[in-house]
């Protein structure tokens, strides 16, 4: 199905983002490990958005096959998200270059000028995540072609500042490159508000988890559809001497077990049964494999249900094209000062 025409007002505000991505809509799909794979990525791009493949912990050979599979499903532009701390990052960059991937998102840390340069030398545009205006400016000086700012409302690993505050901090002062806003966006009205503020586009992850084309387990999708915004909670750190990386996910039995594990491990350390390194590793390894258990196997009690606060806006399973049409329609209506008629209510 061909994307529907973009209303003029929305087109004016999103043109820079669309031109940069090569898509009909300046809507990026968030890179979600185990979810943002070949089928969902291709569906988002075919629908007029911009799909982003989550490399996650993939090795070079698997990434090579996954990119090829996306290309077999769509002729539209898409991107690849690479994690900076991946031990084979250089090889992953080479795979993207070999496939002539047009856009690479560098995430999970601050990339150096060398890796940014390597991606750009291969012909791809580089998008980087920035948590402050200073970081955004530094990344642009190092060669980043666009910036993504993601607030703490997002799912998965998060920073400490809300999307609304980040947008106010960065958008008025960052005009050199396109800036895409992410975190907590589940409707087009929210996207339109950020476009008005100067964003070139938006990125959504949680909203696409329950797409018909998503391979997420039916029980994983059902958990999203039943949830409200308050169910998407940040992991609890019980002792400042043993920091945990904050992750937003739906609360379940595993959430409580994580708290209990921290108390037990820290007690073992205090009483001399574990050294500090072993205790920290046991805490950090608690969630190993937990996301796959939830997304792929459907274990929604002991797996990790990473979700943004916009999960409360996910009401049913829908085709990607329908989700995109809703987002565009809502944004256009908002910009025109009209009320969107929500057929799902």
pLDDT of 1 over the 60 cut: no
pLDDT of 307 over the 80 cut: yes
Q: What pLDDT is attached to residue 342?
A: 74
Strand duo 247-250 + 305-306: pairing: antiparallel
Q: Region 130-151: what's the mean pLDDT?
A: 97
Task: Report the distance separating Cα 202 and Cα 188, nearest Å.
Answer: 10
Give how far Cα 117 sits from Cα of 22, 62, 145, Å: 21, 24, 11
Question: How sure is the predictor about 74, in pLDDT bands with cuts at 50, 70 and 90?
Answer: very high
Domains of the chain: which residue ranges?
8-215+316-335, 228-306
Task: Report the distance separating Cα 137 and Cα 144, nearest Å.
Answer: 9
pLDDT of 124 over the 90 cut: yes
CA nearest 6: which of 313, 343, 324, 322? 324
pLDDT of 345 over the 60 cut: no
- In the three-class reduction of DSSP (H, G, I as helix; E, B as strand; rest coil), residue 277 is classed as helix
Kindly report each contact of residues 256-263 with a partner whose C-beta sits within 8 Å and lies 24 or more positions away, as own/partner: 257/286, 257/302, 258/286, 258/287, 261/286, 262/236, 262/237, 262/238, 263/238
Number of Cβ within 10 Å of residue 278's Cβ equals 13
pLDDT of 152 over the 70 cut: yes
What would the two tokens of residue 217 be? 């387990």
Q: Region 80-92: what's the mean pLDDT?
A: 96
Homologous superfamily, domain 8-215+316-335: Aldolase class I (3.20.20.70)
Question: How sure is the predictor about 344, in pLDDT bands with cuts at 50, 70 and 90?
Answer: low
Q: Residue 253 carries which DSSP code?
A: H
pLDDT per residue as tens digits for the range 249-286: 999 999 999 999 999 999 999 999 999 999 999 999 99
CA nearest 167: which of 211, 126, 136? 136
CA nearest 140: which of 123, 121, 120, 158? 120
**CA angle at residue 294 from 297 to 77, to 5 degrees?**
95
Q: What pLDDT is attached to residue 5?
A: 66
Q: What pLDDT is attached to residue 8?
A: 61
Higher-pLDDT residue of 65, 345: 65
Give how far Cα 103 sits from Cα of 131, 292, 297, 303, Å: 20, 26, 31, 31
Taking the alpha carbons of 110, 181, 155, 86 in that order, is the dihedral positive or negative?
negative
| Residue with tokens 């599979």, as numbered in its chain | 69
Task: Report the distance separating Cα 108 and Cα 110, nearest Å.
Answer: 7
Task: Quote the radius of gyration of the chain (alpha carbons, Å).
Answer: 20
Q: Region 111-138: what's the mean pLDDT?
A: 96
Q: Which uninterrupted H or E stretch holds 91? A: helix 89-98
Contact in structure between 253 and 301 (CB atoms under 8 Å): yes
Contact in structure between 209 and 246 (CB atoms under 8 Å): no
pLDDT of 334 over the 60 cut: yes
What would the two tokens of residue 144 be? 């980043």
Beta strands in the chain (DSSP E): 27-29, 51-54, 78-83, 103-107, 125-129, 146-150, 156-157, 179-182, 201-204, 232-234, 247-250, 305-306
Number of Cβ within 10 Å of residue 152's Cβ equals 19
């Amino acid at each position: 199905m061909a994307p529907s025409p973009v209303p003029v007002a929305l087109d004016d505000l999103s043109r820079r983002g669309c031109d940069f991505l090569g898509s009909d809509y300046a809507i990026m799909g968030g890179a979600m490990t185990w979810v943002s794979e070949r089928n969902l990525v291709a569906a988002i791009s075919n629908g007029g958005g911009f799909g982003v493949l989550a490399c996650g912990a993939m090795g070079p050979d698997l990434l090579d096959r996954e990119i090829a599979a996306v290309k077999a499903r769509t002729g539209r532009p898409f991107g690849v998200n690479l994690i900076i701390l991946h031990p084979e990052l250089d090889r992953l960059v080479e795979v993207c270059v070999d496939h002539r991937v047009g856009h690479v998102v560098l995430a999970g840390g601050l990339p150096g000028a060398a890796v940014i340069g390597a991606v750009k030398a291969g012909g791809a545009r580089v998008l980087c995540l920035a948590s402050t205006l200073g970081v955004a400016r530094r990344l642009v000086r190092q060669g980043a072609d666009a910036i993504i700012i993601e607030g703490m409302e997002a799912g998965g690993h998060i920073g400490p500042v809300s999307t609304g505050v980040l947008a106010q901090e960065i958008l008025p002062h960052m005009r050199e490159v396109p800036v895409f806003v992410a975190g907590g966006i589940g409707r087009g009205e929210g996207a339109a508000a950020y476009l008005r503020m100067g964003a070139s586009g938006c990125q959504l992850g949680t909203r696409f988890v329950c797409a018909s084309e998503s391979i997420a387990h039916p029980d994983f999708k059902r958990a999203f559809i039943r949830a409200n915004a308050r169910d998407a909670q940040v992991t609890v750190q019980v002792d400042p001497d043993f920091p945990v990386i904050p992750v937003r996910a739906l609360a379940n039995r595993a959430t409580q077990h994580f708290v209990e594990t921290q108390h037990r491990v820290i007690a073992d350390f205090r009483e001399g049964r574990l050294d500090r390194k072993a205790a920290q590793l046991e805490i950090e390894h608690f969630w190993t494999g937990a996301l796959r258990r939830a997304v792929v196997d459907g274990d929604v009690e002991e797996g990790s249900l990473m979700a943004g606060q916009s999960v409360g806006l996910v009401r049913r399973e829908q085709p990607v094209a329908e989700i995109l049409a809703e987002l565009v329609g809502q944004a256009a209506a908002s910009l025109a000062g009209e009320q969107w008629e929500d057929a799902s209510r």
